[in-house]
A and B are shown apart, each in its own frame.
Chain A
Amino acid sequence: MGSADFLIEGLVKALDLILSGDSYLWSVVAVSLEVSGSAVLLAAVVGILIALVLSFTDFRGKSIVLAFINAGMGMPPVVAGLFVFLMLVSAGPFGFLKWLFTPQAMIIAQFLLITPIITGVSISAIEAVDSRIKDTAYTLGAKTLDMAVVVVKEAKFGIITAVLAGFGRAIAEVGAIYIAGGNIAFWDAEADTYTSYTRTLTTAIVLETSKGDISTSIALGIIIIGIAIIVNLMTNFFQGRSRHG
């Protein structure tokens, strides 16, 4: 075992798993994308709305709200997971929903995690819009709603970057979905394979590594890095657009 043979063997098996379309592997990928995608969609709608409201209004306590959003941007995923667990467990206030250990619970946990990120980054993007544009719109008789439209149009690449940042955070986190989702996969005896129910790329890596199944872990790792690279490339592309045009 002295050499790195096991690494090469693991890598070869991992590539085989990916290329052969291993159904367990791809069910895990599907759940990951569904959960994080849904959470991002929800968080984008809510986060961008909050960012617009905060950018265009002034009220007492606004600085406190902003401080909360900034603090929320650094919320540890396990805390979000714990919060959702305590809310959804039968003894908790929302136990009647029976949502604990379901994809819904994971979406809520990730929503809590990334809404502050999307809000915060969107606010920066909106604030970065040249104030002359706002002034011009204002002098041309624009109302608050028209101004919002103009500003969002100017800040759209920054806002897209915010959404991508939220997605990157969601797809890569493990703590929140582990606690809220329970890392469940169903065994299908006929197909002789597991199918993910609340098991994602990250939580599956934790489990497979603990079982010593290195090749499956490597395969999952390759896929998640691939997704991260795609998200990063898209972010770079949109950041470039927001700078130049």
Chain B
Amino acid sequence: MKQKFKNLAFIALTGFLLMIAVTLSGCIGEGNSSECPACPQCQECPEKTECRQCPQCSKCLESSGETKYLALSTTTSTENSGLLKVLNAPFEEKYNVKIKVIAEGTGKALKTAELGGSDVVMVHARSQEDAFVAAGHGVNRRDLMHNDFVILGPADDPAGIKGMTDAGEAFKKISESKSNFFSRGDESGTHTKENEVWTASGVEPGGTWYKSVGKGMGDTIVMADQQNGYTLSDRGTYLSMKDKINLVVLAEGDPILYNPYGVIAVNPSKFLEKSGEYKLAMLYIGYLTSPEGQKIIQEYGREEFGQPLFFPDAIPEDVLSEM
């Protein structure tokens, strides 16, 4: 009887030690990196993503060892629109880096970066970005790209804003008709912009028609769609979802709806143990703002959605088009 218990205890203890070993070696979810052949042999890599390419023969270099990680905190719009997976893949392959994309609202993304939870931020609220840099949390901010915000609503448009080009006036009509309006309510870039538009409209929103949902862009659009309400969305997220919803673009084109994205490296002097990550962050920013990265931004969405979702800003578009 006692023997039986000893066996049980032994199994539990062995499992426990194994678990610790696995955890400490950090192997969970990463897969085992296999050794790559050295360059002179020029053999095909068994697992390309684990290896670097040789600049001469474009075949494999020996494995650079551990895969490096770069944590990017960004907005839900860049991730949900599908841009990041296309934009990050060439960078990850070239430099044997895995980019950990943490998609959250702009406010939360900047807070995560401020606390050192991420190494680089890609967000869209210029006022918050400037404050972030001014406070010494970030360095080397670059303009990356832009698109614009659109006011979405049900096709029957109870507030009667269809075709309006003054966003403030459109918001005022929505508030006067007491139509449901869905606000992100999460200090995201879109929420920041929405507040700017309400200020321009001269209306202080409130009451049961104004619903602050505290969720990402996709969720907010789905909620507005379900309850025939209005909402403010970036064009990219709207285009990526428009086949699944009934909402349509009712008002657009106001200069206030301009939506610029910036990319900022976390200040390396704040977290000394992260100097390696800072170098990677700068490499990433260099890539994003290079002709290669900007071209990908320029092309993304043309095929799938019939129009670009974002417009590159780091390199003038006419220069880029000639390249």
What is A's interface to B at a CB cutoff of 8 Å?
A: 1, 30-31, 34-35, 38, 41-42, 44-45, 85, 89-92, 95-96, 98, 100-104, 107, 149, 152-153, 156, 182-184, 186-190, 194, 196-198, 209-212
Contact = CB atoms under 8 A, between A and B. Distances in A.
A11 to B, nearest CB: 16
Contacts of A190: 48-49
What 6 A-B pairs have minimum CB-CB distances, sorted nearest first? A90-B116, A189-B89, A187-B85, A210-B218, A212-B244, A182-B102
B29 A34 contact: yes
B273 A96 contact: yes
A184 B102 CA distance: 6
B316 interface: no
A210 B219 contact: yes
Interface range for B: 35 or more
Given A90-B274, A187-B89, A197-B29, 14 more contacts: A30-B29, A89-B116, A90-B270, A91-B116, A91-B271, A92-B115, A95-B271, A100-B71, A103-B29, A184-B100, A189-B93, A197-B100, A210-B219, A212-B244
A153 B29 contact: no
Interface of B: 1-2, 4-5, 8, 12-13, 15-16, 19, 22-23, 26, 28-30, 48-49, 71, 76, 80, 84-85, 88-90, 92-93, 98-103, 112, 114-117, 215-216, 218-219, 222, 241, 244-246, 270-271, 273-274
Nearest to B243: A212
Given A210-B219, A212-B218, A100 B49 contact: no
B115 A45 contact: no
Contacts, number: 111
Query: Looking at chain B's contact residues, is the secondary structure mostly helix, strand, loop, or mixed?
Result: helix
A212 B117 contact: no
B61 to A, nearest CB: 18
Given A107-B23, A190-B48, A210-B219, A34 B241 contact: no
Given A187-B89, A188-B49, A190-B48, A210 B101 contact: no
A172 B299 CA distance: 40
Contact of B5 (A89, A152, A210): A152
A63 to B, nearest CB: 29
A198 to B, nearest CB: 7
